[in-house]
Amino acid sequence: MSENTSNAIPATLPLRNDLIGEEPYGAPQLDVPVCLNVNENPYAPDPAVCATIARRVGEIAPTLNRYPDREHIALRHAFSDYLARESGVRLVVDQLWGANGSNEIMLQLFQAFGGPGRTALGCDPTYSMYPEYARDTFTGWKLAHRNADFTLDADAAIAAIHEIKPSMVVLTSPNNPTGTPLPQADLERILDVCDTAEVAGAAEGVHPVVVVDEAYVEFRNPGTPSALELIGKHPNLAVSRTMSKAFAFAGARVGYLAASKGIIDCVRIVRMPYHLSAVTQAAALAAFEHTDEQLSRVAHLREIREQTANWLATQTYKGQPLAVAESASNFLLFGGHFDKRDRIFDELLKRGVLIRVVGPDGWLRVCMGTDDEMARFREALVEAMRAVEAE
């Protein structure tokens, strides 16, 4: 069973010419015992968290005939308190912005800083939604290739910045789908260049915005700095975060942006009116009341990642050890030489384990689940590889 499904669109509909032949983005949502394909936190919120969510939503329910606070001030204060605790960086409300998941944050950034005649630069392999944000906003999309081990090739990225003159440079830390961390020294090199770099088609004195997507940053190793620490020094830096991953809140759809007031004001121009519902704001505030509980499994998932990486490195496929990309996230890219990765995916699925076919050819990705789920993954992967080898 493959990951992609095709939905035929009637030829009589006036779909934009550049969208003809495109398919909706999305990982499979299948009813299987072990789902390890979309990098969720596998642990459900504690009952106390659920009770607080219910209480806060109940409190605002009688006001749902009115529009919500379109500036979500209380939630932005909560973002500020959380980041001060999590990363040691205190930002004011004017430096923070929320949206429906970090996907909407990224789309708003492309809406504000992309558009016709503009180009965004990424470093592949990277998150497959970035070119779709570019497509949807009529922004050009160019790539600077990473090193063979998936680390950022800062020299190649800097050369591309000078050549392409992008309005946006999009970096991911940790990277998706590889999990590779972004060293602060490399980020500072990019920021220093972008502080003075030109933007094609823009006025003199306009410089690129550097977007750092930190969707998985809470899974980084302790002591690793966040890009948030550089916001005060670089006004063209925007850092995207989410509550979906480490914070175990994927179903609530809450992402947020940390940046200079200038960048936040630019994003406020393109946001839809009242884009964050009162229910979403209430649920997020409730979750922040229980930050300890929401993040309680992060250290364990980090340990499971390291244990799984070590185990994968001991496995072989067709006589060769599996490669495992360095990861600071809650997932691992592994394989490296799977000549039939779709078949391995299918064999895993037959055994009730769903992972992801993503990234460069020859690789597969698995996110960290519960202890029982990871035990089942290990067992099923060995069986799947042996089945494919025997074909």
Please tell me whether the peptide bond between 116 and the residue prior to it is cis, using omega within 30 degrees of 0: no
Question: How does pLDDT run along the chain (391 residues), one tens digit per residue?
Answer: 344 444 678 989 999 999 998 888 777 778 899 999 999 999 999 999 999 999 999 999 999 999 999 999 999 999 999 999 999 999 999 999 999 999 999 999 999 999 999 999 999 999 999 999 999 999 999 999 999 999 999 999 999 999 999 999 999 999 999 999 999 999 999 999 999 999 999 999 999 999 999 999 999 999 999 999 999 999 999 999 999 999 999 999 999 999 999 999 999 999 999 999 999 999 999 999 999 999 999 999 999 999 999 999 999 999 999 999 999 999 999 999 999 999 999 999 999 999 999 999 999 999 999 999 999 999 999 999 999 999 8
Residue identified by tokens 């990861």 is 327
Three-state DSSP string of 145-200: ECCCCCCCCHHHHHHHHHHHCCCEEEEECCCCCCCCCCCHHHHHHHHHHHCCCCCC
Domain 17-44+297-390 has CATH 3.90.1150.10: yes
Produce one character per residue of 111-137: b if its CB has 16 or more CB atoms within 10 Å, e if not.
bbbbbeebbbbbbbbbbebbbbbbbbb
Other C-beta atoms closer than 10 Å to the C-beta of 207 total 17
- Which residues are CB-neighbours of 136 under 8 A, at least 6 positions away? 107, 110
Instruction: List the one residue out of 81, 75, 173 whose CA is nearest residue 122.
Output: 173
- Which residues are CB-neighbours of 249 under 8 A, at least 6 positions away? 45, 243, 283, 284, 287, 294
159: tokens are 């050369």
> Domain segments of the chain: what residues?
17-44+297-390, 47-295
- pTM, to two decimals: 0.94
Q: Are the CB atoms for 164 and 314 separated by under 8 Å?
A: no
367: tokens are 């996110």
- Which residues are CB-neighbours of 301 under 8 A, at least 6 positions away? 41, 42, 219, 330, 368
Residue identified by tokens 């890219």 is 333
Domain 47-295 class? alpha beta
